[in-house]
Amino acid sequence: MGTAPPEMVRARRAAALIVLDGLGDRPDRETGGLSPVEAARTPHLDGLAARGEVGTVSILGPGVAPESDAGVFALLGYDPVHDSPGRGVLEALGAEVPLRAGDVALRLNFATIDRSGTIVDARVGRSLTTDEAAELARALTVGDLLGADGIRAEVRSTVGHRGVLWLRPTTGGALSPNVSNADPFYEKVGGMGRARTPAAPRLESVRALDASPEAERTARALNRFLDEVPPLLASQAVNRARERDGKLQATGLLVRNAGALPSSPPPSFEGRYGLRGGALTEMPVERGIARLLGLEDRFVGPMGSDREAGYRARARASRELLERQPFVYVHLKGPDEPGHDGDARRKLRVVEEIDRSFFGPFVDGLDLETVAVAVTADHATPCALRGHSDDPVPWMLVGGPRAPVPTSPPARFGSALASKSKVRLAAGDVLRRILDAAALPATP
């Protein structure tokens, strides 16, 4: 399939919000003292930036390092603390887990944890394959580790080391999501996860966050489950094979951000803005957000080995969504993983791949007289930190019938000059700014 011709979207107004996961960064010596974004060669993004406004977005404000789901909720104009049902529920929705009232879902990582509880690697060296994780997940589910507690504990693997822990009560009434995280890298705040950097990361004991019997029961069950996991994982053929191959083994689980189906879900995107919308996503959590908010769900799954072809396919799919929907949200995972791995040079290469193979075909023939395009990030993942931070992230808005006045002097996307722009937005201002540029009417 070729690139969408200009006439596909020329006759109608539309807007696209393109979120580059973890794009924000800091100057790094591995990329010549510039951030990986600034050091990257990005002619397509720079060409757009020269025609539009550039600046920065503060996702949740100083002192709050958001997870991706919180960042996306905020960029779409929702309150991540009060509107989100929790990362676990979003992951479960994205993985098509049939949650029911009274169930609890948590995001999980397979991890390498030693016998003292010290976390050796929170992602099993990022080498655990999706097939390996699925085999381990089946073993944990078949083990029925909480059957004696009247709880069915099911592990659903998703992508690589990632998965969902689904707790379904079989006796004793509903469970409660109001429990703390065992994962020390994230703190639960309402429905939102806030990243943190522990000095000596260890698996934490889950605590009830209120005095209800349901929360106490859920916390006890989770602690028992996590205690039972290591010996079962140690006996699995996957781990024995990994040990023979000199790879890290998946010896435990990190679980976080418990959630339950909300009795009063947030308003849909159309209900809030009076506009239909679509979403192109790669990972279950963003797919879960799209499904929760009633956006047309175009889930393309994780990137394959040919990244250039993958980004071209995503550009085509995004243009196809713009044919059908007045608003499209696109989420590209690429920059986040090298940020977590502390690999500034690889992050630079990923940004260049996105510019060349996604933005090149995406903007080819796109009528910027009628279509507004915004590019930003859900959070920063500085390579120097190997984790999320509260740093403002790059912002660019171009095109539409009410196109913003171009920044003067023109700045490259993500450059130091752009960061000094007077355009400094809060995430909650982003959506309406985009819709205004596109002259798309939105309800209050």
Q: Which two tokens stand for residue 439?
A: 């002259």
User: What per-residue string of b and e applies to 257-291 under the rule 16 or more CB within 10 Å gives b?
Assistant: bbbbbbeeebeebeebbebebbbbbbbbbbbbbbb
DSSP letter at 409 equals S
Of the pLDDT bands very low, low, confident and very high (cuts 50, 70, 90), residue 361 is very high
Residue-wise pLDDT tens digits, 122-148: 999 999 999 999 999 999 999 999 999
**Which of these ranges, 7-21, 42-56, 282-296, 333-347, has the smallest mean pLDDT?**
7-21
Of the chain, the percentage scoring pLDDT greater than 90 comes to 88
Q: What is the pLDDT of residue 443?
A: 63
Residue with tokens 């100057």: 27
Q: Is 73 in contact with 84 (CB distance < 8 Å)?
A: yes
DSSP letter at 267 equals P
Nearest CA-CA partner of 262 in 82, 34, 75: 82
Which residue would you say has higher pLDDT here, 304 or 154?
Answer: 154
Section 212-240 average pLDDT: 97
User: Do strands 14-20 and 371-376 pair parallel, antiparallel, or not at all (unpaired)?
Assistant: parallel
Residue-wise pLDDT tens digits, 79-117: 998 999 999 999 999 999 999 999 999 999 999 999 999
Distant-in-sequence, close-in-space partners of 320: CB < 8 Å, separation ≥ 6: 4
Q: Which two tokens stand for residue 204?
A: 């934490």
Helix (H) or strand (E) holding 72: helix 68-75
| Alpha helix (H) residue ranges in 197-262 | 213-234, 237-244
Sheet containing 327-332: order of strands: 296-299, 277-281, 327-332, 14-20, 371-376, 393-399, 53-58, 424-426
Distant-in-sequence, close-in-space partners of 56: CB < 8 Å, separation ≥ 6: 392, 393, 394, 395, 418, 419, 421, 423, 424, 425
The sign one gets for the Cα dihedral 237, 241, 243, 244 is positive
Residue-wise pLDDT tens digits, 250-296: 999 999 999 999 888 999 999 999 999 999 999 999 999 999 999 99
Residue-wise pLDDT tens digits, 189-208: 877 888 888 888 999 999 99
Section 157-165 average pLDDT: 96
Can you give the residue ranges of every domain in the chain? 7-84+266-437, 89-259
How far apart (Å, rounded) are the C-alpha atoms in residues 104 and 38? Answer: 42
Indicate the burial class of 153 (C-beta count within 10 angstroms; 0-12, 13-18, 19 or more).
Answer: buried
Residue-wise pLDDT tens digits, 379-431: 999 999 999 999 999 999 999 999 999 988 888 898 887 888 889 999 999 99
Of the chain, the percentage scoring pLDDT greater than 70 comes to 97
End-to-end CA distance of the chain: 39
Residue 4 has pLDDT above 80, yes or no: no
How far apart (Å, rounded) are the C-alpha atoms in residues 184 and 160? Answer: 20
How far apart (Å, rounded) are the C-alpha atoms in residues 163 and 344? Answer: 27
How far apart (Å, rounded) are the C-alpha atoms in residues 20 and 377? Answer: 5
Residue 163 has pLDDT above 70, yes or no: yes
With DSSP H G I counted as helix, E B as strand and the rest as coil, what are the percentages for the chain, rounded to 5?
35, 20, 40
How far apart (Å, rounded) are the C-alpha atoms in residues 224 and 229? Answer: 9
Neighbours of 169 (CB within 10 A): 21
How far apart, in Å, are the Cα atoms of 117 and each of 86, 254, 262?
25, 11, 33
Indicate the burial class of 182 (C-beta count within 10 angstroms; 0-12, 13-18, 19 or more).
Answer: buried
Mean of pLDDT over the chain: 94
Of the pLDDT bands very low, low, confident and very high (cuts 50, 70, 90), residue 3 is very low
Determine phi and psi for 391, rounding to 5 degrees: -60, 140
Residue-wise pLDDT tens digits, 305-316: 899 999 999 999
Q: Which CATH class is domain 7-84+266-437?
A: alpha beta
Section 329-345 average pLDDT: 96
Q: Which residues pair with 253 in a beta bridge?
A: 110
Determine phi and psi for 273, rounding to 5 degrees: -110, -5
